[in-house]
Structure 1
């Protein structure tokens, strides 16, 4: 049973595991919908849909994952993560984050950040709080932030990320350029790797074309690969 939980937890994190950036934005965000194929060991096991939409002068970024293969699909496993954020000093800053994972049992997490950057986390057993910092993002928002940072020419990337009990300062760098073939096409992409831990992780971005990766590979915790199927901009 545990062998099925590990990839599902990674799916629940979507594209967010270990991704981070400084993300100084040179331009306003644009709404979009991006779809990904999720593979484990080369076999398709799910589909992820990322959306960015404006809401009340701020923005909402959603990652919805549906399982399409294996035991997870038979159980109807799915997850949804939603980040509400504002643009502060030219960069994204989380205001609220919600996660719901349906697999074997339902798990939820609700996070809010107040005007003083105080973080409140509630997983259904009562809230806990800790001190955050300005410019902080949540784990779901980080892949979008890294894309904006790369678009603005960043090569070394750092970001405070609000996790369960504290703020984690994550570090990334552009490690090279590769030719990448995914369902959406063939791309010359920038390969980004995390440098503050030893987890095997790579993400490939085409930052002047897409704000999110065209491919992500995570060997730690399930040997998962996400490949871009389609990207559609919208108002």
Structure 2
């Protein structure tokens, strides 16, 4: 059986279809989404993702995964990824990102962005590194939300500056076509999005007129995991 590797709930981005802009038309609405997490055909856990408005253009995005089956449950495996971001010039910008993974050992990472000095600091328990921030920069935790917002605006080519451990990556995604997909939440006609500038496998199936997040995700980054939507609630 494979070792549970909690995901970071994936994905990302915006820009026009020609990759020329990163602005969204409107901020996202709060929601709670629950996913079934599996590896191959083996169920492993459950992910709960929430978006809350904190007022004054500030938001909190939380992705909590708990191992509920097999070795993941036996190890008490879990992950917690929490991002606080601001809505600035029609786009999200990360302010803080706090990640914690518990399995055989605990791993933590804290990213902080000082938009006054335009500096990013990242501490993973082995020291703090810094690099320059870029306008519209987000983190890997809110990538899937950013992709959904871009698709909502009718975009099919998506590029986003993503702050990682030591630098800002320009990650690119593109709509590959429309496909029928069945998940616990129901059957949908979805837009399949794939990352195009990396060998890290990612596919996300989106129904942007209904949900800000994908109804299904398959990825290799953080483990060969599949997430399927169980339920999605908006206030």
TM-score (norm 2): 0.92
Distance 1:133 1:222, change over 3 A: closer
**1:126/1:220 Cα in 2 relative to 1: closer, same or farther (>3 Å)?**
closer
- CA distance in 2 between counterparts of 1:154 and 1:37 reads 28
Rounded Cα–Cα distance in structure 2 between residues aligned with 1:209 and 1:72: 32
Question: Unpaired runs of 5+ in structure 2?
Answer: 15-21
Contact persistence 2:189–2:207 (CA under 8 A): yes
For residues 135 and 221 of structure 1, what CA distance do their matches in structure 2 show? 24
Cα distance, 1:38 vs structure 2: 0.6
1:53, 1:192 → 2: CA distance?
25
Instruction: Describe the superposition over 1:97-147 as per-residue Cα deviations: whole angstroms up to 9, x where unpaired.
Output: 000111111111111000232100112233211112110000001110000
Distance 1:219 1:108 in 2: 20
Q: Who is 2:111 aligned against? A: 111
Aligned equivalent of 2:26 = 27
Structure 1: distance between partners of 2:51 and 2:134: 24
Task: Structure 1: state its 5+ residue gaps.
Answer: none
SS in structure 2 of the partner of residue 217 of structure 1: strand
Q: Corresponding residue for 1:93?
A: 93
In the alignment, the residues of structure 2 paired with residue 161 and residue 188 of structure 1 have an alpha-carbon distance, to the nearest angstrom, of 29
Q: Is the 8 A contact 2:7 2:222 kept in 1?
A: no
SS in 2 for 1:146: helix
- CA–CA separation in structure 2 for the residues paired with 1:158 and 1:82: 22
CA-atom RMSD in angstroms: 1.5
> d(CA) in 2 for partners of 1:42 and 1:205?
22
Q: Is the 8 A contact 1:36 1:228 kept in 2?
A: yes
Aligned-pair CA distance for 1:199: 2.8
1:36 matched to 2:35? The reply is: yes
Contact 1:24/1:152 (CA < 8 Å) preserved in 2? no
Quick check: 1:50 aligned with 2:42? no
Once residues 111 and 162 of structure 1 are traced to their aligned partners in structure 2, the CA distance between those partners, rounded to angstroms, is 9
Instruction: List per-residue Cα deviations over 1:25-53 (Å, max 9, x = no partner).
Output: 22232110000001111111110000000
Give the TM-score, by structure 1 length: 0.92
SS of equivalent residue, structure 1 residue 231: strand
- What's the CA shift for 1:56? 3.9
* TM superposition shift of 1:220: 6.4
